[in-house]
Structure 1
Amino acid sequence: MAALSSGGAPWRRGWLPALQFVRRGSKAVTRHWKAMHFQRQKLMAVTEYLAPRPAVPPRCLTPRKERVEEEDNGYARLLRRQVEEVFRDNRMIAVCQYNSMPDEDVVLMRHYLRKHNIEVKFVLNEIVRPVLSQSKYKNLLPLFVARNILLVSPELKAKEMLRVLKGVPQINLLGACIDNTILSKQGVENLAKLPSLEVSQGQTVGALAVLPSQTSSLLQRGSAYLTALLDEHIRQLQARETGSPSEPAPAQSSGAH
């Protein structure tokens, strides 16, 4: 210990640190760049995201996309043409709201409706609305707001249609166009309560036949009464000439009493 404290080299004796001027606000650099561990480099390389490359170059996809759009437009035109034919070739077009139902029930409903010559048409609003907006059926546009189906028939089958729809609660009748006349649901129900065309024609013919018969009887009543009066007058004249008392006519005797 004495050797360390006395004599020897200067660095062995006690020493004071040199003065250093440090700028206020500066920070010492404690982090230095360090190479990434080899295992970490392999993990980062394996987990790096690689965007999938298209199987076909983009320059080859552009004509195909245009061709698909043309095909879609052609298909839409075909569907619109079919809707126009439906409204042109059928006397009864009923618009119904379609709710989801099993396929078996849909097949059964179509079978019962087909017995009465009523067809079910599934349509899209984006196809029907442009067609109706340019036709005389534009007042039907408010009905096409959800998933709809059309019940069409070349004949007037409102009563049969309501009878089938009564057993299918998933199908709600919204309105109809019958013989170029737009009817509400209540109007269709009132139309179904009317008698058939043949019965109505028979009732009309009977009512028209009653009026001529009554008119004919009224016209003949005056001439018959006049004839009876003339016969009675002639009988009285003949009785005066012969001097025999004339028998009173039934009408006169009844008037005397």
Structure 2
Amino acid sequence: MMDLMDLLKESYGKKIIVGGHRGHKSNIRENTISNFSQLEGKKIPYIEIDVQLTRDSCAVIYHDVDLSLQTELTGMIRDYTLGELKERFDICTLDEAAAWCKEKQIGIALEIKLQPYAMWDDRKPLVKALVEVIQKYDFHRMCYVFGKDYEMLNWIKREDSRINIGLIAPFVPKKPVALMNDMQAIIYLNFVDQLSRELVEQLHKEGFLVGGSVVNTEEALKIAVELGVDLIESDDPERILGLSEEWYAG
């Protein structure tokens, strides 16, 4: 089976690759293997997941910084040990998620979740945990790591130059190509409606990939197609993939 990096290379300039955002929206908790399993065999080549660090320095998959938004717990992931969290709700480690994805040959877009004020001391241990898992499963060509903390991304690249880096750009940089080169990144990421055709073409001209998310409607997909972005995530990836295949077939 083709790995994620080869798939992106083969599809470059031809069609959009559709991934699952935190897995996908369903009655099963997002960012869990139980949720990911519902996408097995659905032609979704990768899933976007969020990683944080527990109190006992275990990298786990969870999106929100505030646990009270989706659980009965208060505080943050870093306030609890892995065992305490697993006792209260379904949560998986990065290692467990990577092992499952490796077995199923599904790629990972791995977002570093960080609140600098509260999580500053977690940065280096989290980098260490990320690198160790990617190396353990030889997952370099099946994943990329991204986030807003560019220093952490630099640390990751220094630890293992084979790890692919994506940049979340919450604003349009003055020199986007220079920024990508400086960070040794391969994927430029932003919300699809924050991109322009000129920016995408500029990045493509220099060989970079462009990701636009999160795409949950036909209107947003149309924008992504018109912009020529390379990859998107969706909360409903099966439906968006079906729509994109119809458009390209037409």
Q: Max radius of gyration: which structure? A: 1
Q: With structure 1 as the length reference, what TM-score do the two structures score?
A: 0.24
Q: Which has the higher strand share?
A: 2
Q: Which has the higher helix share?
A: 1
| Larger RCO (alpha carbons 8 Å, 6+ apart) | 2
Q: With structure 2 as the length reference, what TM-score do the two structures score?
A: 0.24
